[in-house]
């Protein structure tokens, strides 16, 4: 009998399995897909990044390289090869996780799991039912795309991010419903490859949850790149009529496109898990309720990742997977929810960690703010990527860094330093006094920290 059964082989589940094995526990991981890695690897973070990188190269070759003296001959798009490259990246990484499971002597079961009683799991495999038993069960089943009433997803013309990662041809007109991370990343991919992209968003802003100032700047930049936004636009229905997609919006207007991407959030995967058999409590929105140690309301059952709600991010799930296992077997663990970075992999990238300015205002917290633009940074100038800025928010009294918001080149890499600063309880003065190599984009972070005290050097 294994010590721990993990249901779900995504970043939350497989990382928890590795950590438990490192702690000398015997682990069985159950996953219904042949490839481990979850949504992130199969149909999420990784394939979308492959397409974002490739489509960025295509756009540079088309629009920016000639001005830098790199002249490309007749340019063309080989979409099939671009999609194959994406698939091969996914396959390689999937093989890597298999290797990690073997190295850590983790048992894999391919099938769909249901918890039947405390410590008992029944798995539907292709060879019939397999009954397993363990002292502890960890649920890491993730989430699936949500939809809206009136939207008829046909898995082809009208689909979710899964379909938008493999359109066989570039749509002439793609309507994206939802201006969140998925809508903007995949909208960007297909715009770069030649589609007209219209994003319909219910709210009066894009990227809900992100710092307003940064989101407003992002919208302007995306519009300049050619994405059309319609804010305050409530979609009431979408259907396919003879290969044409028809999208109706509140007020009676009908929009037409050849493909529709529904990107209105994700919902937790709890159906069929047998949670009712063991009394695992869900909240009003259907997420599994956990305590600080990631224990559910049922003894011996833990849960991590998208299925418990909060930021639906692979790295948040990983942190929780490790922490859940450490709390369980060592008595101590750690997830700092104030220091979980978020990144939107558009161009420029957008990244944040900690509180937004709106949150601080809402909390009535006094803060100081320092911003520095990339256009005053030598490395950004040299690479021709001068849009955006770094904004640092620090406590007015203690100077402790409370939030960092970046829109600009490699923001997703730059945010790591800021996350470490928040994790270590750094002040903006600590960042300002830290020597940053020249010429690097990271100097923008240092300058923004200096700007908190009104003493940026290059502005």
Residues in contact with ligand NAD by the rule CB under 6 A: 148, 177-183, 185, 200-203, 208, 234-235, 263-266, 312-313, 342-345
Instruction: Pick between residue 139 and residue 263 the one whose CB is nearest to ligand NAD.
Output: 263
d(CA 156, CA 244): 11
What three-state secondary structure class fits 196?
strand
DSSP designation for 289: P
Q: Which helix (H) or strand (E) holds 5?
A: strand 4-7
Nearest to 260 by CA among 290, 235, 223: 235
Least distance to ligand NAD, CB of residue 205, Å: 8
Least distance to ligand NAD, CB of residue 94, Å: 19
d(CA 137, CA 300): 6
Least distance to ligand NAD, CB of residue 83, Å: 19
| 325 contacts 138 by C-beta, under 8 angstroms | yes
**Residue 336 exposed, middle or buried by CB count within 10 Å (0-12, 13-18, 19+):** exposed
Least distance to ligand NAD, CB of residue 146, Å: 7
Residues whose CB is less than 8 angstroms from the CB of residue 292 and which lie 6 or more positions away in sequence, other chains included: none
Least distance to ligand NAD, CB of residue 99, Å: 26
d(CA 154, CA 297): 37
The tokens of 336 are what? 């700092």
Helical H segments across 240-397, by residue range: 275-278, 314-330, 357-362, 378-383
The tokens of 312 are what? 């639906």
Query: Is 405 tagged catalytic?
Result: no
Instruction: Pick between residue 111 and residue 309 the one whose CB is nearest to ligand NAD.
Output: 309
Least distance to ligand NAD, CB of residue 380, Å: 22
- CB-closest chain residue to ligand NAD: 180
Preceding omega of 348 cis (within 30 degrees of 0): yes
**Of 56, 173, 405, 438, catalytic:** 438
DSSP designation for 305: G
**Residue 292 exposed, middle or buried by CB count within 10 Å (0-12, 13-18, 19+):** exposed
Helical H segments across 104-236, by residue range: 161-164, 181-192, 212-225
Least distance to ligand NAD, CB of residue 152, Å: 14
| Cα angle 441-444-450, degrees, rounded to a multiple of 5 | 155
Instruction: Pick between residue 127 and residue 204 the one whose CB is nearest to ligand NAD.
Output: 204
| 43 contacts 166 by C-beta, under 8 angstroms | no
d(CA 79, CA 401): 44
| 411 contacts 405 by C-beta, under 8 angstroms | no
Instruction: Pick between residue 2 and residue 142 the one whose CB is nearest to ligand NAD.
Output: 142
Q: What is the 3-state secondary structure (H, E, C) of 43-95?
A: HCHHHHHHHHHHHHHHHHHHHHCHHHCCCCCCCCCCHHHHHHHHHHHHHHHHH
d(CA 421, CA 415): 10
Instruction: Pick between residue 44 and residue 373 the one whose CB is nearest to ligand NAD.
Output: 44
Least distance to ligand NAD, CB of residue 210, Å: 9
Active-site amino acid positions? 438
């Amino acid at each position: 009998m294994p010590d721990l059964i993990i249901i779900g082989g995504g970043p939350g589940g497989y990382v928890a399995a590795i950590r438990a094995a490192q702690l000398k526990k015997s682990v069985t991981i159950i996953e219904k897909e042949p490839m481990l890695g979850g949504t992130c690897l199969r149909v999420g973070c990784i394939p979308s990044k492959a397409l974002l990188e490739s489509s960025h190269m295509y756009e540079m070759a088309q629009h920016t390289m000639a001005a830098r003296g790199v002249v490309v001959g007749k340019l063309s798009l080989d979409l099939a090869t671009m999609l194959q490259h994406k698939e091969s990246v996914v396959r390689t990484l999937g093989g890597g996780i298999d290797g990690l499971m073997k190295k850590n002597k983790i048992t894999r079961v391919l099938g769909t799991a249901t918890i039947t009683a405390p410590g008992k799991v029944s798995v539907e495999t292709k060879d019939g039912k397999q009954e397993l038993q363990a002292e502890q069960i960890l649920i890491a089943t993730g989430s699936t795309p949500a939809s809206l009433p009136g939207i008829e997803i046909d898995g082809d013309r009208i689909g979710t991010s899964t379909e938008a990662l493999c359109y066989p041809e570039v749509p002439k007109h793609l309507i994206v419903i939802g201006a969140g991370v998925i809508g903007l990343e995949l909208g960007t991919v297909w715009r770069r490859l030649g589609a007209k992209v219209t994003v319909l968003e219910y709210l009066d802003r894009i990227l809900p949850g992100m710092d307003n100032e940064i989101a407003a700047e992002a919208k302007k930049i995306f519009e300049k790149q050619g994405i059309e936004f319609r804010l305050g636009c409530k979609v009431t229905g979408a259907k396919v009529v003879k290969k044409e997609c028809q999208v109706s919006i509140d007020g009676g207007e009908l929009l037409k496109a050849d493909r529709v991407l529904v990107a209105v959030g994700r919902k937790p995967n709890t159906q069929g898990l047998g949670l009712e058999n063991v009394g695992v409590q869900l909240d009003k929105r259907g997420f599994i309720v956990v305590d600080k140690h990631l224990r559910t309301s049922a003894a011996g059952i833990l849960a991590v990742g998208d299925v418990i709600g909060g930021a639906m991010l692979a790295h948040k799930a990983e942190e929780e997977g490790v922490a859940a296992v450490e709390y369980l077997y060592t008595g101590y663990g750690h997830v700092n929810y104030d220091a979980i970075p978020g990144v939107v992999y558009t161009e420029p990238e957008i990244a944040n960690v900690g509180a937004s300015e709106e949150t601080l205002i809402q909390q009535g917290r006094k803060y100081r703010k320092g911003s520095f633009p990339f256009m005053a940074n030598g490395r950004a100038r040299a690479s021709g990527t001068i849009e955006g800025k770094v904004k640092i928010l620090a406590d007015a009294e203690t100077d402790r860094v409370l939030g960092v918001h970046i829109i600009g080149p490699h923001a997703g890499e730059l945010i790591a330093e800021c996350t470490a600063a928040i994790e270590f309880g750094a002040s903006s003065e600590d960042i300002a006094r830290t020597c940053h190599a020249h010429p690097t984009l990271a100097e923008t972070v240092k300058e923004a920290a200096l700007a908190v005290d009104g003493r940026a050097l290059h502005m």
